[in-house]
Amino acid sequence: MTLVITGATGNLGRLVIAGLLDAGIPASSVAAVVRDKDKAADLAERGVELRVADYSRPETLAGAFGAGDRVLLISGSEVGQRVAQHQAVIDAAKSAGVGLLAYTSILGGPKADFLLAGEHLVTEQAILDSGLPYTFLRNGWYHENLTGNLAPVLEHGAVVASAGDGRIASASRADFAAAAVAVLTGEGHENQAYELNGDTAWTYAEYAAEVARLSGKEIAHAEVPAEQHLAILSGAGVPQQFAEILVDVDAAVGRGRLDRHGDDLSRLIGRPTTPMTHAITAALPL
């Protein structure tokens, strides 16, 4: 049996592979599905098998999986194209007879009523229809979704949002990777759906206050209407489609969709989730 990670050169994929190797899984038992071998040279140097394939080119996926493999399908990043891309992976996995198909979905599953969730829910149904043993890793919001955009917050002294008093139970990308490792290496996860979120939920006002405390700068929480939020993002150069998704996510936050959904994440990884404070500190300029 081989543990196969798709999207292996992305941020999450690299963390999953590192977690597998750190857990003592032999590199010879780990395979990375990548589009570009050159970008995965460091993985090959560690003994990880590289399998070249592209979600958008179904014919390349024919040799990506083997019978009995445990596969982690990391959702694609090309919003609007992901249903077809994911279906190609599912079809290849079924043809190969993989032992488990784990998928990085979205917190809430069928209850996730916002734009970003749509392709995930279609993919979940496609996996169910395939008849393959599955695990849905319904990931919540990453700390890094916020801290990766810290520079303009520090520059302008404001966290702009349109989520009201909604709370976000985020966790670090490494926490979500650790959950994937636990599923791929553990037993009893077949045909399960895990709602994965951080132990602590926070509001944007609390996030702004923590950035201010840790940076020593004055950081305000600027709560604005959705229309104004969209205009601000578009004016800052965010592509229209992505700006609309971000504003829609904030509306979902206001409805409680990214709040705590239980303790599946900390239970799977066997420890508390990483506090947001750690992610802010790591993202602050030296």
One domain, residues 36 and 77 = yes
Taking a C-beta distance cutoff of 8 angstroms, is the pair 136, 124 a contact? yes
Res 179: pLDDT: 98
One domain, residues 202 and 254 = yes
Q: What share of the chain is helix, strand, coil (3-state, %, to 5)?
A: 50, 15, 35
One domain, residues 60 and 110 = yes
Q: Is 258 exposed, middle or buried (0-12, 13-18, 19+ CB in 10 A)?
A: buried
Res 78: pLDDT: 82
- Count of other CB atoms within 10 angstroms of residue 260: 18
One domain, residues 134 and 149 = no
User: Residue 82 belongs to a domain with what CATH number?
Assistant: 3.40.50.720
One domain, residues 32 and 91 = yes
Taking a C-beta distance cutoff of 8 angstroms, is the pair 167, 203 a contact? yes
User: Residue 152 belongs to a domain with what CATH number?
Assistant: 3.90.25.10
Q: Which domain holds residue 48?
A: 3-139
Residue 85 belongs to some domain of the structure? yes
- For 222, the 3-state DSSP assignment is strand
Tens-level pLDDT at each residue, the chain (286 residues): 899 999 999 999 999 999 999 999 999 999 999 999 999 999 999 999 999 999 889 999 998 999 999 999 999 878 878 999 999 999 999 999 999 999 999 999 999 999 999 999 999 999 999 999 999 999 999 999 999 999 999 999 999 999 999 999 999 999 999 999 999 999 999 999 999 999 999 999 999 999 999 999 999 999 999 999 999 999 999 999 999 999 999 999 999 999 999 999 999 999 999 999 999 999 999 7
One domain, residues 245 and 224 = yes
Res 81: pLDDT: 84
Kindly write down the DSSP assignment for every residue of 105-126, as one continuous string: EETTGGG--SGGGHHHHHHHHH
Nearest in space to 107 (alpha carbons), one of 13, 193, 204: 193
One domain, residues 146 and 283 = yes
Res 80: pLDDT: 76
Res 286: pLDDT: 75
Specify the number of domains making up the chain: 2
Q: Distance (Å, rounded) from C-alpha 47 to C-alpha 41?
A: 10
Q: Distance (Å, rounded) from C-alpha 234 to C-alpha 259?
A: 27
pTM of the model: 0.96
One domain, residues 11 and 128 = yes
One domain, residues 155 and 117 = no
